[in-house]
Amino acid sequence: MSTYITFPPCQHLSKVLSSSASDTVLKTYNTGMKICLISSFPNNNKSRKTTYITKDGREIEHRQLSQLKTNILKCNDCFSNSSIFMCLQCPNIGCLKSNHALGHAKSSGHIFGIDPNTGHLICFKCRDYVGDPKLERLRINQIKKAGMLSNFRGMPIYNHEHDLKKHKLIMSDSRLPSYKATTGLKGLVNMGSTCFMSAIIQTLVHNPFIRDYFFAGSHLDCDKEIDQCLSCCVGEIFQDFYTSNSYTGFGPVSLLTASWKVKRSLAGYSEQDAHEFWQFLLHQLHKNDTTRDKKENTPPGNGNGDLMNTNLYNCNCITHRTFAGELQSSIICSECKSVRITIDPMLDLSLEIQEKNPDNNLKTPISSLNACLEKFTKPEKLDVMYSCSTCNKRTEVTKQLKIKKLPSTLGIQLKRFEHLAQSVKVETHVDIPLMLDMTNYTLSDNDSEPRIGNNLYELFAVVCHIGSVNTGHYICMVKSRDGVWFRFDDVKVTQVTQDDVLKSKAYLLFYIIHELP
């Protein structure tokens, strides 16, 4: 049983499973898994006619089962079927977006919920997914049953002989990659002070939006040599990470060569900043993608490859689809209270991790990411006088930043490096949440209230800098699709605990939008 890999258990789940209620919990969870799999059986692609045969011989099409599941599984309070959880201890169903699931957990003490899309268990006290080999064994067994029972007609139907021949040709000339290959868990060989590059690549390789882009073959028709195109180099890494059965680390020679050709300051073997390389690589993905869009006559960005000057509404490149948001700056006149609003594009947030005392200019550490965000978005009185166009006076002004549009992937840089009279690294530990609610730092369309909608993000990657400001080393920790955290130290890949992640001194954080279909 211990061979089943799952989310780590929390103290609350461990306590329940070691109590006399364990058998009841396991039985209830097993029933919950059956509900989760009502419409989840093989080959449920819309183009295929998939039918379920009941015990009495009746046929039920997949779309009918899906509709049945949708009609049944709704939030008891608002009747939403988006981002819902089934209570493990009673028949209640609550949603995440309106906090009805959390409210039920607080009022009833029922702190565990089942995700009906995956069968994973969430602990509302810990605000994170949890697991146990016993539960995972039940989950996997139910999935196996759903995929192997003889009463599922799951095979596609080919109407033409040509299609059948094509299918046989594909099957005879293809092979399935090993399970290890499909996880993408592979290290990168250090080519000489390239740990900054390795850490950033791991955050992209395990980002589902970037992964889906390359898996869809969106950059296959590039006519450049591989060392002339950074997107081709990244595509090469994806191909090796997700199809090769080799256990050895991948040497990103093409990526390194192409990077040197595009940006001369990267040439050589001196240590580089991981955040700057991340910005550089996103710039190249954007530039290559918009150039490709021009060839296909699809709406591109402004075409000049400038990330921050691109009209976000027109640019459909992978960089902007994944990371782009909008930041609103409000300048408030102290006399007439008029507000001047400017909206700028953003690809990430750079947050101070120290607070300066105005009385003595001494800096004190900021202990949590939420506190960093509060400092970033709180009103700030500017030192300069401002000519107000409304009251025609030179007055003092207050400036406030809020996020107008949230991205699919939220990148955050914690400002650990100061370059003043001398370069200094700030070693402050900042508490980082696994689930980040951005509601308090956003604006709705009326510019006066927090944005309503899905503002919840889940941490999936952390980049850390180990060492001094001049001589250091980058490592990356990533949450896999199975919910297990792994540490990538160049070619070395090791499993780590959730606590290891939370105790780390993060430099870059990557949160992905927590939206359950």
pLDDT digits (tens, 9 = 90+) for 231-241: 999 999 998 89
When the pLDDT of each residue in the chain is averaged and rounded to a whole number, the result is 80
Non-local CB neighbours of 361 within 8 Å, separated by 6+ positions: none
Q: Are 163 and 57 in contact (CB under 8 A)?
A: no
Q: Are 150 and 53 in contact (CB under 8 A)?
A: no
Q: What is the pLDDT of residue 495?
A: 93
- Higher-pLDDT residue of 101 and 314 is 101
Q: What is the pLDDT of residue 233?
A: 93
Q: Confidence band (pLDDT; 50, 70, 90) for 306?
A: low
79 found inside a domain? yes
Q: What is the pLDDT of residue 223?
A: 80
Distance CA 456, CA 463 (A): 21
Q: What is the pLDDT of residue 6?
A: 58
Pair (147, 183) in one structural domain = no
Distance CA 14, CA 265 (A): 52
Q: Which of 72-81, 297-306, 374-383, 418-427 has the lowest mean pLDDT?
A: 297-306
> In the Cβ-directed half-sphere of 342, how many Cα atoms lie within 13 Å?
9
Pair (226, 349) in one structural domain = no
6 found inside a domain? no
* Cα 462 from chain centre: 11
- Higher-pLDDT residue of 13 and 292 is 13
Pair (269, 329) in one structural domain = no
Tokens of 419: 């370059």
Using the predicted structure, report yes or no on whether residue 444 has a pLDDT greater than 50: yes
Q: Confidence band (pLDDT; 50, 70, 90) for 447?
A: low
CATH of the domain at 22: 3.30.40.10
- Tally the residues of the chain: 517
Using the predicted structure, report yes or no on whether residue 47 has a pLDDT greater than 50: no
67 found inside a domain? yes
5 found inside a domain? no
Instruction: Write out the catalytic residue numbers.
Output: 195, 473
Q: What is the pLDDT of residue 266?
A: 81
Q: Other CB atoms closer than 10 Å to residue 177's CB: what's the count?
A: 12
Q: Are 266 and 258 in contact (CB under 8 A)?
A: no
Q: Confidence band (pLDDT; 50, 70, 90) for 43?
A: very low
Sort strands 506-513 and 456-467 into parallel, antiparallel or unpaired.
Answer: antiparallel
Give the rounded percent of residues in the chain with a pLDDT score beyond 70.
76
What's the rounded mean pLDDT across residues 327-331? 92
Q: What is the pLDDT of residue 498?
A: 94
Using the predicted structure, report yes or no on whether residue 318 has a pLDDT greater than 80: yes
Q: Which of 103-112, 169-178, 378-387, 411-420 has the lowest mean pLDDT?
A: 169-178
What's the rounded mean pLDDT across residues 203-232? 87
Residue 96 corresponds to which amino acid?
L
Using the predicted structure, report yes or no on whether residue 53 has a pLDDT greater than 80: no
Number of domain units in the chain: 3
Distance CA 388, CA 396 (A): 9
Q: What is the pLDDT of residue 216?
A: 81
Using the predicted structure, report yes or no on whether residue 199 has a pLDDT greater than 60: yes
3-state secondary structure of 294: helix
Domain region containing 185: 179-287
In 362-382, which positions are buried (b, 16+ CB within 10 angstroms) versus exposed (e)? eeeebeebbbbbeebbeeeee
**Hey, which of 94-108, 152-166, 196-210, 310-324 has the most confident mean pLDDT?**
196-210
Q: Which of 8-22, 134-148, 429-443 has the lowest mean pLDDT?
A: 134-148
Q: Confidence band (pLDDT; 50, 70, 90) for 36?
A: confident
Q: What is the pLDDT of residue 324?
A: 94
The pLDDT tens digits of the residues spanning 106-137 come to: 999 999 999 887 788 888 887 777 888 888 88
CATH of the domain at 240: 3.90.70.10
Q: What is the pLDDT of residue 242?
A: 86
431 class by beta-carbon count within 10 Å (0-12 exposed, 13-18 middle, 19+ buried): middle
Distance CA 217, CA 219 (A): 5
Q: Confidence band (pLDDT; 50, 70, 90) for 56?
A: low
3-state secondary structure 5-73: CCCCCCHHHHHHHCCCCHHHHHHHHHHHHHHHCCCCCCCCCCCCCCEEECCCCCEEEHHHHHHHHHHHC
Pair (467, 345) in one structural domain = yes
Distance CA 158, CA 180 (A): 32
Pair (136, 242) in one structural domain = no
Pair (138, 183) in one structural domain = no
Pair (132, 192) in one structural domain = no
Q: Confidence band (pLDDT; 50, 70, 90) for 476?
A: very high
Pair (283, 370) in one structural domain = no
> Can you tell me which residue has the tokens 């590039």?
222
Pair (443, 486) in one structural domain = yes
